């Protein structure tokens, strides 16, 4: 037991302490449907909020530029080894500060400025760092985005192959932020082989599903796999890169000294804890439950007149086009937030509206599954959504739903949030 001789945060900085407490209350009392968010466990938060934040350790285990690494080296090795075991990967780098820097390290390892690259376009559900124009990755490299088909909104593998043959990209990214279907990793491997491109799988959204066996793994097929650690994987806010042995040295050199300075050791420790938790049999059940819940929620939404992009989901996320409801994604998202249902407005493929006020909403089940919600709650959530969106400017409806949401939240305490 530690006995503090110093004053607490509440004493030192009541303003920040109050805001953190208010965030705890918000996270406990609302239903988190943001597909990229989750609740890290108390164990993960403890590691992340530790004195490890004080330590500099530029370099890698046993090859450091600072002394005093007696705890840091074994912590980083545990994080690497647990991730390698969890995903069956030959190499793991746990130092990227987050998902975007992990992806930048891949470019630095393999591409020269101006090289052709390919990734799923942002409007089709790709990530900024896969070469979109407003991102440094679209400015420094010649990006040729692939998209989804107009009829069924599935990734157009014929287009991927045609663009790859035409432009001979150095790397092809597979992964996205708003794609509700299974990634066909073997098909990407085949195309990469045909054109001599490196296959880079960015599993930021689906890492937990891959770890838990609820989505096929790209490990063994992709040359490099990047990810965040804080989405379905339920770790701290961080990034990681897994690679085949032959690319290990290039990746490590790109992360440090290529792109970053000292690693965030508190995050590394928390990644190790998350990988430990994800290696337990319960995590397999968790990953499966995320997908079961998403399918149940998608079915309940469809029954209530929602138009889902691709007609449903294979993973943790759902993208809905609200055009039939005659309301923009932003207006809906703001009304739902007032009712305690927190999600984000999102462009849909071939959206005719602007990205800052698009036609759709994106939602996901990782967080509500972490709270232990199931089929019954999915039906309730679909029902609440339909009610709020139909009467988005009626305070009585919003208040009524908010009350029901708070009652349900009380029955499903959120991991990592002190009971409030
Ligand atoms: C979230 C995400 C990222 C970026 O992660 P940050 O930690 O926000 O930088 C990269 N790629 C994909 C596919 C993502 O979903």
Domain boundary (240, 255, 278) is at 278
Ligand 1 neighbour 131 (Cβ under 6 A): no
Q: Which residue among 142, 168, 237, 375 is the active-site one?
A: 237
pLDDT in tens, 352-386: 999 899 999 999 999 999 999 999 999 999 999 99
Q: How far apart are CA 211 and CA 86, in angstroms?
A: 6
* Number of folded domains that form the chain: 2
Residue-level pLDDT at 3: 85
Whether the CB of 36 sits within 6 Å of ligand 1: yes
pTM of this structure: 0.97
What pLDDT is attached to residue 265? Answer: 98
Among 278, 306, 336, give the residue marking a domain's end.
278
Q: Judge if the beta carbon of residue 321 lies within 6 A of ligand 1.
A: no
- Tens digit of each residue's pLDDT (9 = 90 or more) over 135-190: 999 999 999 999 999 999 999 999 999 999 999 999 999 999 999 999 999 999 99
Kindly give the distance from the C-alpha atom of residue 85 to the centroid of ligand 1, in angstroms, as a whole number: 23
332 and 185: one domain?
no
Same domain for 119 and 254, yes or no, is yes
Residues making up the chain, counted from first to last: 420
In DSSP terms, which residues pair with 199 in a beta bridge? 172
Is residue 58 part of the annotated active site? The answer reads yes
Render pLDDT for 83-140 as a digit per residue (tens, 0 to 9).
999 999 999 999 999 999 999 999 999 999 999 999 999 999 999 999 999 999 999 9
Same domain, yes or no: 329 and 212: no
Four-CA torsion 195, 113, 256, 38, nearest 10 degrees: -70
- Whether 56 sits among the annotated catalytic residues: the reply is yes
Euclidean distance between CA atoms 72 and 272, whole angstroms: 12
Q: Which helix (H) or strand (E) holds 317?
A: strand 317-321
> Could you report the per-residue pLDDT of 220-279, keeping only the tens digit for each?
999 999 999 999 999 999 999 999 999 999 999 999 999 999 999 999 999 999 999 999
User: What backbone torsions phi and psi does residue 156 show, to the nearest 5 degrees?
Assistant: -90, 90
In the predicted structure, residue 420 carries a pLDDT above the cut 80: no
Domain containing residue 263: CATH number: 3.40.640.10
Q: Domain span at residue 299?
A: 287-411
CA-nearest residue, atom 8 of ligand 1? 99
- For ligand 1, is residue 229 a contact (CB within 6 Å)? no
Pairing of strands 344-346, 360-364: antiparallel
Annotated catalytic residue 202: yes
Return the pLDDT at 251.
98
Predicted confidence (pLDDT) per residue in 302-335, tens digit:
999 999 999 999 999 999 999 999 999 999 999 9
Query: In this structure, are 252 and 318 located in the same domain?
Result: no
The alpha-carbon radius of gyration of the chain (Å, integer) is 22
Using CA atoms, how far apart are residues 226 and 210, in angstroms rounded to an integer?
12
Protein residue with least CA distance to atom 14, ligand 1: 204
310 plus 245 within the same structural domain: no
pLDDT digits (tens, 9 = 90+) for 41-91: 999 999 999 999 999 999 999 999 999 999 999 999 999 999 999 999 999
- Is residue 218 in contact with ligand 1, taking CB distance under 6 Å? no
pLDDT at 1: 59
Closest atom, ligand 1, to C-alpha of 231: 1
What percent of the chain stands above pLDDT 70? 99
């Amino acid at each position: 037991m530690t006995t503090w001789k110093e004053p607490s945060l509440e004493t030192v900085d009541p303003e920040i302490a109050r805001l953190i407490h208010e965030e705890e209350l918000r996270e406990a009392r609302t239903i988190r449907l943001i597909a990229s968010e989750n609740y890290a466990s108390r164990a993960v938060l403890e590691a992340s909020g530790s004195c490890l934040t004080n330590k500099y350790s530029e370099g890698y285990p046993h090859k450091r530029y600072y002394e005093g690494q007696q705890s840091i080296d074994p912590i980083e090795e545990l994080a690497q080894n647990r991730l390698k075991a969890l995903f069956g990967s030959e190499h793991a780098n746990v130092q990227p500060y987050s998902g975007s820097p992990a992806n930048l390290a891949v470019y630095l390892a393999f591409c020269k400025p101006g090289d052709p690259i390919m990734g799923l376009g942002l409007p089709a559900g790709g990530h900024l760092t896969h070469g979109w124009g407003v991102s440094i990755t679209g400015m420094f490299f010649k990006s040729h985005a692939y998209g989804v088909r107009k009829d069924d909104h599935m990734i157009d593998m014929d287009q991927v192959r045609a663009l790859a043959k035409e432009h001979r990209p150095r790397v092809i990214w597979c992964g996205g932020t708003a794609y509700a279907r299974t990634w066909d990793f073997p098909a990407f491997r085949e195309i990469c082989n045909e054109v001599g491109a490196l296959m880079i799988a960015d599993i930021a959204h689906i890492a937990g599903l891959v770890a838990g066996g609820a989505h096929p793994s790209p490990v063994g097929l992709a040359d490099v796999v990047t990810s965040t650690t804080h989405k379905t994987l339920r770790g701290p806010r961080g990034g990681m890169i897994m690679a085949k042995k032959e690319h290990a040295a290039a990746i490590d050199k790109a992360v440090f000294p290529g792109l970053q300075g000292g690693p965030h050791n508190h995050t590394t420790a928390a990644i190790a804890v998350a990988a430990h938790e994800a290696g337990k049999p319960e995590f397999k059940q968790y990953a499966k439950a995320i997908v079961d819940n998403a399918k149940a929620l998608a079915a309940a939404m469809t029954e209530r007149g929602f138009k889902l992009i691709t007609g449903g989901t294979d993973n943790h996320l759902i993208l809905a086009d609200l055009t039939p409801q005659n309301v923009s994604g932003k207006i809906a998202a703001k009304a739902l937030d007032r009712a305690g249902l927190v999600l984000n407005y999102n462009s849909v493929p071939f959206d005719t509206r602007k990205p800052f006020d698009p036609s759709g909403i994106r939602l996901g089940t990782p967080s509500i599954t972490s709270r232990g919600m199931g089929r019954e709650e999915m039906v309730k959530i679909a029902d609440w959504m339909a009610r709020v969106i139909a009467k988005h400017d009626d305070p009585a409806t919003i208040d009524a739903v908010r009350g029901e949401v708070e009652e349900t939240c009380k029955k499903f305490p959120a991991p990592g949030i002190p009971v409030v």
